[in-house]
């Protein structure tokens, strides 16, 4: 595997790195340590800048007007984009634009006109409503929200939990059980306008991620036009699997970016802080922590780039993407933990971004499928013989 960057990739990495250092980090000095948004004027100015750079909407597929960046370059960019305080969950405060819900790229032309294209133009926002109070890691079996056909409509009843952005979304992608099949073959996906009668955002759910809340939803006799069914009836889980695996790669890369920055901070601190008559960097206990950090960082980088390069070559990459997600989220958590230990007291204060990354990286081991599910994906492929 070739870990070296092409000239073009190096140029892109350098450009994004400068953008983060020159444009994003200085603004954070004046924001609350937990801030998740820029001032609207700064946001607008920086979006203009990323448009000029040709990077706006970088996750939009080329056939839909995106810049057509390959997965490897996208991963390299994600590593850079997350190297600031809010970078894990809001890399560069969204100034590179979004791509909307991956499942919408598999929608009908009518659905794309009504939901995907307005999302790409920034006119609409969507949210993803899958997890329920009955469970999230095995949603195919946990889903209890029911959908019943009634002529040209579907009637949905049930609830969803830990849903991000539902209170601000124009539409939600809702998964509901539509047959007696207790597993994945009984679930259908629907696009639901959030102003539909019966759609309720019942409460805010506070988490470790104190910048951003999740919500709990309730659906009461919610009537959805049959034209808003996404994909085939009872085949809601088959939609966009490839795109979802692809998303795990920049997700992993975001974790790695925070770890790289934490390691830089730890090294800098160790080389300047004195204790017991010498620099921290001279103590073996500290040296070993720095080395263990480097091992975790390089391991994650290798897994991420391997998954990305396989995806770019058009090969199967499901196992590699799962491994990258697992290795990067768990390893980066360890790196930030050690960086805090090296810093001592100041490491847990809000003066530094380490405490925020520490909290947010704990969530990354659960989001986008917990580590155990990633192992399950890999085990199926390895033991099933499809991995060679």
Nearer to other proteins, 9 or 43 (CB): 43
To the nearest whole angstrom, how small is the minimum distance from the Cβ of residue 38 to other proteins?
10
Nearer to other proteins, 80 or 216 (CB): 216
To the nearest whole angstrom, how small is the minimum distance from the Cβ of residue 101 to other proteins?
18
To the nearest whole angstrom, how small is the minimum distance from the Cβ of residue 40 to other proteins?
6
d(CA 160, CA 218): 7
Nearer to other proteins, 161 or 323 (CB): 161
Asked if 320 is an active-site residue, the reply is no
Nearer to other proteins, 202 or 298 (CB): 202
To the nearest whole angstrom, how small is the minimum distance from the Cβ of residue 350 to other proteins?
4
Nearer to other proteins, 204 or 382 (CB): 204
To the nearest whole angstrom, how small is the minimum distance from the Cβ of residue 190 to other proteins?
20
Nearer to other proteins, 141 or 362 (CB): 362
* 3-state secondary structure at position 119: helix
To the nearest whole angstrom, how small is the minimum distance from the Cβ of residue 39 to other proteins?
7
Footprint of other proteins (CB under 8 A): 32-37, 39-40, 165-168, 194, 200-204, 206-207, 210-213, 215, 350
Nearer to other proteins, 192 or 328 (CB): 192
To the nearest whole angstrom, how small is the minimum distance from the Cβ of residue 210 to other proteins?
4
Whether residue 191 contacts residue 171, with contact meaning beta carbons closer than 8 Å, is answered with yes
The dihedral sign for the CA sequence 64, 69, 75, 79: negative
To the nearest whole angstrom, how small is the minimum distance from the Cβ of residue 160 to other proteins?
14
- Label residue 93 exposed, middle or buried (CB < 10 Å: 0-12, 13-18, 19+): buried
The one catalytic residue in 360, 368, 372, 381 is 368
SS (H, E, C) the chain: CCCCCCHHHHHHHHHHHHHHHHHHHHHHCCCCCCCCCCCHHHHHHHHHHHHHHCCCCCCCCHHHCCCCCCHHHHHHHHHHHCCCCCCCCCHHHHCCCCCCCHHHHHCCHHHHHHHHHHHHCCCCCEEEECCECCECCCHHHHCCCEEEEECCEEEEEEEEEEEECCCCCCEEEEEEECCCCCCHHHEEEEEEECCCCCEEEEEEECCCCCCCCEEEEEEEEEEEEHHHEECCCCEHHHCCHHHHHHHHHHHHHHHHHHHHHHHHHHHHHHHHCEECCEEHHHCHHHHHHHHHHHHHHHHHHHHHHHHHHHHHCCCCCHHHHHHHHHHHHHHHHHHHHHHHHHHHHHHHCCCCCHHHHHHHHHHHCCCCCCHHHHHHHHHHHHHHCCCC
Going by their DSSP bridges, the two strands 171-177 and 126-129 should be labelled as parallel
Closest CA to 190 of 126, 247, 248: 126
Nearer to other proteins, 141 or 212 (CB): 212
* Residues identified as active-site: 368
């Amino acid at each position: 595997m070739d870990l070296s960057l092409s000239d073009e990739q190096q140029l892109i990495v350098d450009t994004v790195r400068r953008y983060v250092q020159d444009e994003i980090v200085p603004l954070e000095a004046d924001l609350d340590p937990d801030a998740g948004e820029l001032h609207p004027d700064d946001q607008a100015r920086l979006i203009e800048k990323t448009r000029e750079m040709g990077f706006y909407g970088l996750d939009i597929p080329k056939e839909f007007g995106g810049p057509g960046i390959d997965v490897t370059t996208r991963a390299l960019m994600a590593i850079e984009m997350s190297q600031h305080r809010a970078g894990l969950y809001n890399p560069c405060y969204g100034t590179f634009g979004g791509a909307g819900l991956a499942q919408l790229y598999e929608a009908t032309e009518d659905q794309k006109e009504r939901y995907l294209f307005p999302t790409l133009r920034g006119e609409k926002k969507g949210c993803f409503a899958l997890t329920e109070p009955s469970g999230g890691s095995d949603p195919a079996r946990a889903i209890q929200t029911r959908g019943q056909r009634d002529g040209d409509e579907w009637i949905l009843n049930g609830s969803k939990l830990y849903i991000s952005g539902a209170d601000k979304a124009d539409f939600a992608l809702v998964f509901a059980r539509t047959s007696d099949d207790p597993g994945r073959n009984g679930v259908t996906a629907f696009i639901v306008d959030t102003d539909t009668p019966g759609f309720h955002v019942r409460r805010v759910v506070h988490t470790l991620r104190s910048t951003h809340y999740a919500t709990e939803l309730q659906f009461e006799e919610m009537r959805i036009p049959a034209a808003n069914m996404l994909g085939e009836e009872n085949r809601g889980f088959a939609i966009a699997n490839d795109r979802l695996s692809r998303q795990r790669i920049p997700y992993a890369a975001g974790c790695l970016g925070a770890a790289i920055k934490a390691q830089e901070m730890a090294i800098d601190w160790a080389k300047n802080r004195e204790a017991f008559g010498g620099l921290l960097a001279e103590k073996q206990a500290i040296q070993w922590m720095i080395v263990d950090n480097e091992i975790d960082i390089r391991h994650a980088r290798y897994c991420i780039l391997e998954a990305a390069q396989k995806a770019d070559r058009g090969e199967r990459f499901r196992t590699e993407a799962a491994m990258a997600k697992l290795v990067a989220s768990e390893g980066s958590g360890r790196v930030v933990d050690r960086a805090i230990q090296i810093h001592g007291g100041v490491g847990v204060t809000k003066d530094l971004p380490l405490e925020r990354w520490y909290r947010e990286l704990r969530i990354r081991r659960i989001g986008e499928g917990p580590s155990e599910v990633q192992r399950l994906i890999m085990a199926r492929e390895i033991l099933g013989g499809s991995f060679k």
